[in-house]
Amino acid sequence: MINVGNALTGVAPQSKPNVALQYILSGDLGTVATLKPASSKTKYFSLQSFYFGCVPSSQETLAGAAIPCTLRLTGKRNGKTVVTQDISFAPAGLTGLLVSPMKKQEFDGAWTNVDEVDFAQTGLLAAATSVLYDNVKYTTFTF
């Protein structure tokens, strides 16, 4: 989690001041982030929605301009792929030059009963792009 406060450029968080960050240039983690249940009692979950936006990766990521990006989401259950979906973010018109709102991404029933979701950046600039996430909504199921 990072505090984006009242930045004058970049992507405006859906719920200030914190967002989750997939910060690619911070190490050798590649361009994939993974969402898994935190509790061993959770058997699977249903991804419902989240907000996201993209900025160039740098030490000043939060001060960067909003930029377009594409992600490939892969839902898995017991290590096997059960659903994939490509999603994109584009800055909002001229306001994207300063602060652009996050995009809300909603998911249908195909995203029910997964135990892992991979968020892979695609495109030529994937390794130089940071993704900001906010208000991830999901339902967990335990046995």
- CATH code, domain carrying 104: 2.60.120.1350
* Sequence-ordered strand ranges (E) for the chain: 2-3, 10-12, 18-22, 32-35, 42-56, 69-77, 80-89, 99-101, 103-106, 116-122, 129-142
For the segment 3-15, what is each residue's pLDDT rounded down to a tens digit? 454 555 578 888 8
Helix, strand, or coil (residue 65): coil
Can you give the residue range of the structural domain that contains 106? Answer: 2-142
- How far, in Å, are 63, 66, 117 from residue 7 at the CA level? 7, 12, 29
Residues 6+ apart with CB under 8 A from 75: 47, 81, 82, 83, 84, 110, 111, 114, 116, 117
For the segment 33-79, what is each residue's pLDDT rounded down to a tens digit? 888 887 788 889 999 999 999 888 765 555 578 889 999 999 999 99
- Looking at the predicted structure, is the pLDDT value of residue 83 above 90? yes
Our count of domains for the chain comes to 1
